[in-house]
Structure 1
Amino acid sequence: MGAVRARKETGLLFIDFRWEGKRCREQTNLRDTIANRKKLEKMLQQIESEITLGRFDYTSFFPESKTSGNPILNKSPIKPVITASTESQLPDAVKGPLFRSFIEEWLVESQITWRRSHQINIRGMIDKYYLPSFGAVGVGNITRADLLKFRSTLAKVSGRNGNVTLSANRINKIMDPLRRIFEEAADRYDFTTPFVRIKPLKVPRSDVQPFTLTEVRLIIDSVRPDFKNYYTVRFFSGMRTGEIDGLKWKYVDFERRVIKVRETIVAGEEDYTKTDSSQRDIAMCGPVFDALQNQYLATGAMSEYVFCNLQGLPVDHNNITKRVWYPLLAHIGLEKRRPYQTRHTAATLWLAAGEAPEWIARQMGHANTEMLFKVYSRYVPNLTRLDGSAFERLLLQGQVSMPAGTADVTDQESQP
């Protein structure tokens, strides 16, 4: 059995317990008072319970400790927001269970409604960010100041893809589940959520970089022959990466010349499409129809997937991007752009060709045309009349007919 003890020389409390056959003593900055002893005794009870269940994570309770003997466990991407030194500032009453206990309960209840990829993403954020900062604290004892401090520590974490720090968009995505967690906890345990007046960070507007038709032709003419059909379909169908990688032959209707988007590949597994509106039928233009017919000769008999590897399994888009896409752009002298720009390219080409925006939105899998005009219309000013040229032409043609009673307003006002 563990115990909460006080050091004679300092009068400060420490936790004394055994784990994996070793005696562990963790010092705090809490004075030896009844209230502080109760806090640490609750913490000790939780520790012993976790040890009994075989799921004790030393780092979650003591992020800065070296007692675990495993240096990997002690490497956290962020420093703990609430430690033994700051815990003395918390109210004496523990509001609700420990954060680590509540979040596991919340996760079990919530993940039944999530896609598998989202479950993996949330689990990763819990282990990497939430538990190291809040795991050993009562969920109702976490304050707004703690959350703001937590967000500031995120801004110092190294980012991905060469970024020095996490982007504002990534930080917002880490903070958003926390908001829902505290809203649920506050409702259950009758306390005010600390997530008040904490607005999302401002995210710079992302810019699309579609290819021109000339560049598209150059790419298709220059790519490896075994990927010519793949990129032809990507550029002229507007399909998302997961949609084309997960496309099966049963969804290719050559008779009606449509591609039925019904599934997608997410994290290497088949899943439902991104949204309900993503379930759609895409009309095949001539190049897409020809490319799919040619592809059927190559893979129609070996796999249920349109684009597959030699084992008949779906292609790995990360592998293709690194080994085919980026080297190709470098070889032909084009700026490095993500493969997702092929989808943006399809939208801008359709708009430039004068296709109806409603039809384009359906092809793209958008619920309405709002996203279409918000993101793509600036690439086709003559179509959307954003440059004033149509009005200029009308005036130059001299065909403006003013309604009766308005043409001579100036003359009428000048008369005495």
Structure 2
Amino acid sequence: MASLRSRKENHQLFFDFRWNGARYRAQTDEVDSPAARKRLAPKLESLNEALRTGTFDLGKFFPDLAVPLTSTSPAATHEVLPPPSVVTPITSAVPCSLSFRSFSDQWYSEFRVGWRKTYDATVRGLLDQHLLPRFGTTAVSAVTRAQILEFRAHLSKLPGRREGSKLSPARINTIMLILRQILQEAADRYEFTMPMGRLKPLKIPKSDVMPFTLTQVQDLIARVRPDYKHYLTVRFFTGMRSGEIHGLKWKYIDFERRLILVRETIVGGEEDYTKTDASQRDIVMNSVVYDALLAQKKATGNRDYVFCNLKGEPVDTINFTKRVWYPLLRHLGLELRRPYQTRHTAATLWLAAGEMPEWIARQLGHASTEMLFRVYSRYVPNLTRNDGSAFDRMLQQTLSRDRPSAQDPQPPPSPWRLAA
């Protein structure tokens, strides 16, 4: 398939395509811009159609015209497609022996230095489990768009983590993203057409939050094992992520100023930097959290971690979820949900109390209030009555003057009748 590419040295656009076993570049006089790409789009579409149907004629599409344009005015360049000045076949610089496996190993070793340990493990796992078994022996320059689409369709049929489920669109998009990064780097280095151009990610269904009510929170804290009572209290009323509360150390507890300093996190059983820079924050202790931490200090104050096991090691997320959290939800007859819902619960309780969204965003470690309103919009209290009720009152007050009297014939009821 043909594509429009931009030269690094002068940003001029050129058509990049393969025909009869050779690669061609057809230079244009257009400088890369959205408007220029829009003007060249019909030409690109015709070129791809001709290549697909086998009707491509090099002389017809790209005649060797050395004659300059008759007009160089802006109006003329918008009306006339500049003829390509150079059409040159080039051969791929990729060695035939350079397989996808060889290049992906090189790419992995070069780029992993900038990754977190968890992302490193994710990439390595996706390479070994999905990408290398499918593309490992194929030359990196020979991977086609058809093969990629077939591979994505194959992924959609694979079983997911839960019994009876399939791989989620989010997981498939992650696998395809790694494939895209490898092929893009190879295409840039060895100058071949990137086969994943214009391939959009799968649409991910919007997941709804499942926060607990304050009554349910009280029941959960009251019924949980005694050694996890303070732990749940802090989780529910601070909105800390699992890794953040598991990595919380006593040196980050400021009782004097009543602050929890979020500075580290536990990821994959190891200490790491927080999820983002905005996640480095100071959480204000309310009275309930303050009392819970004072009580917890009597139990683990001689340890590094605030919440830890008998060996002084931080709480393990999987162990807590399977042995404490899910059994507790089943015991109370509550729908199973991830412990992460404690974070959503804190956000919705803050909103219900009327706290300022900017303050809540800072407590949660969000860089702005955008995610707050996007995720929790239906939990934002209507402090200014921006729900259409003011408009409804105006309509009732205005239209009441025109309503028929008791003696006038009454119209049939309407499904759009205003509420009384």
TM-score normalised to the size of structure 2? 0.70
Partner residue in 1 for 2:264: 263
**Aligned 1:232-251 pairs, distance under 5 A:** 232-251=233-252
In structure 1, give the amino acid aligned to 2:147: D
Paired position in structure 2 for 1:188: 189
Does residue 320 of structure 1 match 2:320?
yes
Cα separation, partners in 2 of 1:397 and 1:362, compared to 1, 3 Å: farther
Q: Quick one: which amino acid aligns to residue 313 of structure 1?
A: E
Q: CA deviation at 1:265?
A: 0.5
Hey, what does 1:131 align to over in structure 2?
Answer: 132
Deviation readout 1:161-215 (Å, 9 max, x if unpaired): 2243101111011111111111111000000111112111111101100111111
- Contact 1:233/1:288 (<8 A) preserved: yes
3-state SS of paired residue (2:367): coil
> Which residue is 2:32 aligned to?
none
TM-fit CA distance, 1:280: 0.4
Residue number in structure 2 paired with 1:310: 310
Q: For residue 108 of structure 1, what is the aligned residue in structure 2?
A: 109
1:387 deviates by 2.8
Task: Tell whether 2:299 aligns with 1:298.
Answer: yes
Which amino acid in structure 2 is aligned with residue 115 of structure 1?
A: R
Secondary structure at the aligned position of 2:337 is classed as: coil
User: CA offset at residue 224 of structure 1?
Assistant: 1.2
8 Å CA contact 2:152–2:172 kept in 1: the answer is yes
Q: How many angstroms does 1:395 deviate by?
A: 8.0
Residue number in structure 2 paired with 1:222: 223
For residue 191 of structure 1, what is the amino acid of its counterpart? F
**Structure 2: distance between partners of 1:148 and 1:386:** 46
**1:9-408 aligned within 5 A:** 95-96=94-95, 97-301=98-302, 303-383=303-383, 385=385, 387-389=387-389, 392=392
Which residue number corresponds to residue 29 of structure 1? Answer: none
User: What is the percent sequence identity of the aligned residues?
Assistant: 64
Runs of 4+ in 1 over 3 A off after TM superposition: 92-96, 383-386, 389-398
CA distance in 1: counterparts of 2:337 and 2:243, whole angstroms: 18
Name the CA shift for 1:247/1:396 in 2 (closer, same or farther; >3 Å).
Answer: farther
Q: Distance in 2 between matches of 1:378 and 1:213?
A: 17
SS in 1 for 2:271: strand
Is the CA contact 1:220–1:228 (under 8 Å) kept in the aligned structure 2?
Answer: yes
Equivalent AA in structure 2 for residue 140 of structure 1: S
CA distance 1:246–1:190, change in 2 (3 Å): same
Alignment TM-score, normalising by the size of structure 1: 0.71
Q: Do 2:92 and 2:190's aligned partners in 1 also have CA atoms closer than 8 Å? A: no
Contact kept? 2:281, 2:362, Cα under 8 Å: yes
Per-residue deviation, 1:231 = 0.4
d(CA) in 1 for partners of 2:149, 2:207: 25
1:358 partner amino acid: E
CA contact under 8 A between 1:249 and 1:304: conserved in structure 2? yes
Q: Which amino acid aligns with 1:283?
A: V
Q: Is the 8 A contact 1:95 1:141 kept in 2?
A: no
Give the partner amino acid of 2:324. Answer: V
Contact 1:156/1:165, CA 8 A, preserved across alignment: yes
Q: SS of 1:382's equivalent?
A: coil
- CA–CA distance in structure 1, aligned partners of residues 386 and 337 of structure 2: 27
Structure 2 counterpart of 1:315, which letter?
V
Which amino acid in the other structure matches residue 151 of structure 1? R
Q: 1:328 to 1:276 in 2, by over 3 A?
A: same
Alpha-carbon spacing, 1:285–1:328, altered in 2? closer, same or farther (3 Å): same
CA contact (8 A) 2:145 2:195 kept: yes
Q: Which moved more, 1:372-381 or 1:120-129?
A: 372-381
Contact kept? 2:93, 2:190, Cα under 8 Å = no
Q: CA RMSD in A?
A: 2.0
Question: How far apart are residue 392 of structure 1 and its match?
Answer: 4.9
The one-character-per-residue Cα deviations of 1:56-105 (angstroms, maximum 9, x if unpaired) are xxxxxxxxxxxxxxxxxxxxxxxxxxxxxxxxxxxx97835211111111
Which runs of 5 or more structure 1 residues have no equivalent in the other structure?
A: 1-34, 36-91, 399-416
* Residue identity in the other structure for 1:263: E
Question: What letter is aligned with 1:372?
Answer: L
Aligned to 2:401: none
Q: Greater shift after overlay, 385-394 or 231-240?
A: 385-394
Distance 1:393 1:227, change over 3 A: farther
Unaligned runs of at least 5 residues, structure 2: 1-20, 22-90, 399-420
Q: Aligned partners of 1:305 and 1:252: how far apart in 2? A: 11
Report the count of equivalent residues.
Answer: 307
